[in-house]
Structure 1
Amino acid sequence: MADAPYLKCFVPKTEEQEKEEESIYKRYEEIMSTLPREKGWWTEQIYRYQGFWYASVHLPGVMAVQNHFQAHFSDILLATGPKCGTTWFSALVFAVVNRNLYTSSANQHPLHTFNPLVLVPSFEQRLYRNNKIPDLDILPSPRLLATHMPYSSLPQSVFHSGCRVIYICRNTQDAFISLWHFLNKVRAFGSKEPLPLEEAFEMFCKGAYTFGPFWDHALEYWRASLDRPQSVLFLMYEDMKAEPAVHLQRLAKFMGCPFSSEEEKEGVMEGIIRLCSFESLSSWYK
């Protein structure tokens, strides 16, 4: 399999540059040591930073994004809470933006080769990790990026640039249950006992889980979508499931690449919906 596209961002650095980046992340770890802590779902501790909770593996990346990411007007940022449709919407966003390069029926479509989370990489989980500061200017425009970061913690360049932010909100109960099942799989991988549902529910209600609290996270983006509708789009996961064609058109229009009447007649939207369906995505990554 070919290398993940985003890996091109990690250009070779001089020894001095590598030491400087290590020093930057060391300062982030020092800041972490001063923050309030709670027991985590799958890590020993989570840290409260700017009103939200983070695992130690993610928080240095969040700080690095805030200090080093420079947004462009053409950027498209997909923001979600954990287990709120990140993979599905990453596939949809990629397929819509790149439909003139790759038809949905083409065997060589990147979604047949790469996980959508590789094609729309996360700031804190893939790009700004392991003491690395990537050169994102290498990526073609529009840059498609993802994050679980809350709106208030996004770097200031996002607000100043006017780049587009898409937020996906999901039914709270479904998001919680999906997160509980997912993190228990992670715990099992680390030879840990499953977290009891009752204990997980109590922690979720307190907001004490990675990128929580849930409603604070969602409300920030919802309010931003009311204040800056030209820059922030708030979508419900369930609405996309119920009426995919309607909301795919809405998504495409917001991203600046609406479907033409000819594309609608030719079934381009339906092809993208099939390409990004749960059945298609799950069959490729079994």
Structure 2
Amino acid sequence: MAIAQSTEEENCSDDAPPQVDETLNGECKELLLTLPRARGWRTPHIFLFQGFWCQPKEIQAIISFQRHYVPRDSDAILSTLPKAGTTWLKALTFAVVNRGRYAHHYHDHEHQHPLLVSNPHDLVPFFEYKAYAGSDGAPDLSGLPDPRLFGTHMPYHVLEAPTAGRCKIVYICRNPFDMFVSQWMYLNKVKPEWLPEVPLDEAFEMFRSGAVGFGPFWSHVLGYWKASRERPDRVLFMKYEEMKEDIVSHLKRLASFLGYPFTAEEEEGGVVEGLAELCSFEKMKELEVNKSGRSIMDFENKNLFRKAEVGDWVNYLSPAMEQQLSKVLEEKLGGSGLEFKISPGLPVGQ
């Protein structure tokens, strides 16, 4: 039973005790009382858990995942921060590993390709929003056929022990300027009606401080960046902006990493370009299944597709905001070798 709206509204203050969600199990409720908390965008509070910020239901699901997930060598985990290309990555990966099964279904109206009739989040379930989202213990995932594909927003250090170095991990990062704007616009659309919108300047300060969902940003990206350099056979690190510039070569890279390389015949026959088109933003946005329905919890699919542009942040952030965030990134990412293209031709980081 959900708590009363008036109670949740009172709990929006950072000084109020954390909200009590009756859908949480007792262990999670007790844990929340011990964790640092901050104002959330979509929930009254987010909590600092295992070194990153997340929501109560996410904490409960992550604990279940860490205890019960049994990895297979053939599993692939697709990780991103929210609004960093998650839906696109899921579509591309599903298309690559299943291309033999659905090779002739792109234009076959009787047997349509699953990506034409299903949202990518239904085909590649999130650990924290679907597979382990219940409060009743461990789900049985053993019946899922290989290769099993899963999505997550969890940081690398949270995945490391449960995966035991076995399955492949694919990570996409997006420049934090565009990602922040996309997160802010999306979360203001999907938040509960009783929760007030977070103004842009307040949301920016929360993002810059690191106290946002699955943040801090720099910790999340650096965890996967370092892992990809130490274990390139296990962790593939890709950049959203580079994929937008040359999706064909990146699709080949993804396929080879996952163990499903394209043959010479496939490349000559335009299979790579065909899969890229099937999974393109323009194609997915116009599909009926992505204009309606709810594939992630109770969020409408139509809100998953906005612009997918590089550099759109300039229409929202002031020059002062750009300077402030650039300074944080230079401090946090300095010496790592990681940089982002924040607009066509302008990198930040290193």
**TM-score (norm. length: structure 2):** 0.72
Q: Does 1:72 align with 2:77?
A: no
Match of 1:53 in 2: 53
Give me the whole-angstrom Cα distance separating, in 2, the residues matched to 1:56 and 1:139. 27
Match of 2:139 in 1: 134
Q: For 2:268 and 2:107, locate their aligned partners in 1 and report how far apart those are by CA, in whole Å.
A: 16
**One-letter code aligned to 2:67:** N
Query: How far apart are the structure 1 equivalents of 2:100 and 2:26?
Result: 43
Corresponding residue number in structure 1 for 2:219? 216
Aligned-residue sequence identity (percent) comes to 48
Secondary structure class of the residue paired with 2:35: coil
Paired residue type of 1:250: R
**AA at the equivalent of 2:283:** S
| Contact 2:171/2:237 (<8 A) preserved | yes
Aligned AA (1:151): Y
The question of whether the paired residues in 2 share the 8 Å contact of 1:52 and 1:212 is answered with: yes
Q: 1:148 to 1:136 in 2, by over 3 A?
A: same
Kindly provide the CA deviation profile for residues 157-208 of structure 1, in whole angstroms up to 9, marking residues without a partner as x: 3133x21000000011010000000011023x52433211100000001111
Which of 146, 151, 158 pairs up with 2:151?
146
Say whether the 8 Å CA contact 1:41–1:183 is kept in structure 2. Answer: yes
Give 1:75's aligned amino acid.
Answer: D
Whole-angstrom CA distance in 1 between matches of 2:160 and 2:62? 9
Counting only pairs closer than 5 Å after superposition, residues 99-178 of structure 1 correspond to structure 2 as 99-103=99-103, 104-107=106-109, 108-132=112-136, 133-154=138-159, 156-160=161-165, 162-178=166-182
1:86 corresponds to 2:119:
no
- The alignment covers a number of residue pairs equal to 263
1:229-268 equivalence runs, <5 A: 229-268=232-271
Aligned equivalents of 2:32 and 2:93: distance in 1?
Answer: 34
Q: Displaced runs of 4+ in structure 1, greater than 4 A?
A: none
Report the CA distance between 1:106 and its aligned residue: 3.7
CA contact (8 A) 1:67 1:155 kept: no
Instruction: Supply the distance in 2 between the matched residues of 1:264 and 1:241 (Cα, whole angstroms).
Output: 19
Is the partner of 1:58 in helix, strand or coil?
Answer: helix
How far, CA to CA, are the matches of 1:26 and 1:234 in structure 2?
Answer: 37
Deviates more, 1:55-64 or 1:245-254: 55-64
Match of 1:14 in 2: none
Distance 1:186 1:57 in 2: 16
Greater shift, 191-200 or 215-224, is seen at 191-200
Per the TM alignment, residue 109 of structure 1 is displaced from its structure 2 partner at its CA by 0.7
Q: Deviations over 1:114-152 (max 9, x none)?
A: 110110100001111131421111110110001000001
Equivalents in 1 of 2:91, 2:162: separation in Å? Answer: 25
Q: Distance in 2 between matches of 1:26 and 1:73?
A: 34
Query: Which one has a larger percent helix, Structure 1 or Structure 2?
Result: 1
Structure 2 counterpart of 1:176, one-letter code: F
Distance in 2 separating the partners of 1:90 and 1:98? 12
Q: What is the CA-CA distance between 1:249 and the residue it aligns to?
A: 0.1
Separation of aligned partners in 2, 1:138 and 1:25: 26
Unaligned runs of 5+ in 2: 1-21, 292-350
SS at match of 2:142: helix
The answer to whether the Cα contact below 8 Å between 1:91 and 1:116 also exists between their aligned partners in 2 is: yes
Instruction: Read off the aligned partner of 1:218 and give its amino acid letter.
Output: V
- Taking the aligned partners of 1:277 and 1:89, their CA distance within structure 2 comes to 10
Distance 1:57 1:186 in 2: 16
For residue 304 of structure 2, what is the aligned residue in structure 1?
A: none
How far apart are 1:155 and its partner, in Å?
Answer: 5.3
Q: Deviations over 1:98-120 (max 9, x none)?
A: 00011244441111121101101
Partner residue of 1:180?
A: 184
Say yes or no: does 1:228 pair with 2:231: yes
Aligned to 1:281: 284
TM-score (norm 1): 0.88
Counterparts of 1:260 and 1:169 in 2: how far apart (Å)? 28
Q: Is the 1:77–1:145 contact (alpha carbons within 8 Å) kept by the matching residues of 2?
A: yes
Letter in 2 for 1:183: L
3-state SS of paired residue (1:154): helix
Provide the C-alpha distance between the structure 1 equivalents of 2:127 and 2:280, rounded to a whole number of angstroms. Answer: 25
CA distance in 2, matches of 1:236, 1:259: 21
Residue type at the aligned position of 1:114:
S
What amino acid does structure 1 have at the position aligned with 2:221? A
In 1, distance between residues paired with 2:185 and 2:214?
Answer: 17
Q: In structure 1, what is the Cα distance between the partners aligned to 2:231 and 2:285?
A: 35
